[in-house]
């Protein structure tokens, strides 16, 4: 039983690292368009909920699409960097993560988005790897940067910290100042 717990932790850490890499990529786009990328996964799930603080359904949909695209294995690294806050700073980490065999099996599904200010939102999401749930109800931060909703670099750094050793990815020095 103890081995199973250890094995699950080893499996979870890389998946979380991928999730962070995706999140970081989603937050750094300098583009002004909020249209989801063509490579984003289809929206087949129930829409994410809005918060009591208000928020247009278009804003919620954009945050959801960008967050899920960041974590999608079909999203090119260049787009992930655009979807991550301060993405160019983390480009090497995003690329290093995408070369991991586990990266091709990770995806995120946004459960809810709560706007906490005009430029920040809390995102609750589920993370899967190879069809297996590795994190249910995880929480991250999306930020509005350059007119684009992106995965917050603090969220990305948190995931990298949890999975960097297993993924053999060095922690970017920029993570020390993130969030």
Supply the range of the domain harboring residue 87.
2-176
What pLDDT sits at residue 74? 87
Number of domains in the chain: 1
Q: Tens-digit pLDDT profile for the chain (179 aa)? A: 444 433 444 444 444 444 443 333 333 333 333 333 333 333 333 334 434 345 689 999 999 999 999 988 889 999 999 999 999 999 998 888 888 776 778 889 999 999 999 999 999 999 888 888 878 899 999 999 999 999 999 998 888 887 766 666 778 888 877 65
Label each residue of the chain as H, E or C.
CHHHHHHHHHHHHHHHHHHHHHHHHHCCCCCCCCCCCCCCCCCCCCCCECCCCCCCHHHHHHHHHHHHHHHCCCCCHHHHHHCECCHHHHHHHHHHHHCCHHHHHEEEEEEEEEEEECCEEEEEEEEEECCEEEEEEEEEEEEEECCEEEECHHHHHHHHHHHHHHHCCCCCHHHHCCC
What pLDDT sits at residue 178? 67
What pLDDT sits at residue 58? 94
């Amino acid at each position: 039983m103890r081995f199973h717990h250890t094995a699950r932790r080893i499996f979870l850490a890389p998946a979380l690292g991928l999730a962070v890499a995706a999140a970081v990529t989603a937050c750094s786009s300098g583009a002004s368009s909020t249209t989801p990328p063509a490579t984003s996964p289809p929206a087949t799930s129930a829409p994410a909920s809005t918060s009591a603080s208000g928020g247009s359904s278009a804003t919620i949909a954009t945050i959801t699409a960008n967050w899920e695209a960041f974590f999608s294995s079909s999203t090119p690294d260049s787009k992930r960097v655009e979807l991550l806050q301060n993405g160019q700073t983390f480009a090497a980490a995003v690329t290093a993560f995408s070369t991991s065999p586990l990266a091709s099996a990770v995806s995120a599904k946004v459960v809810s988005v709560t706007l906490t200010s005009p430029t920040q939102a809390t995102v609750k999401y589920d993370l899967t790897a190879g069809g297996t749930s590795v994190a249910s109800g995880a929480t991250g931060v999306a930020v509005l940067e350059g007119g684009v909703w992106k995965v917050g670099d603090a969220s990305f750094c948190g995931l990298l910290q949890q999975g960097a050793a297993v993924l053999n990815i060095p922690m970017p020095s920029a993570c020390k100042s993130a969030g």
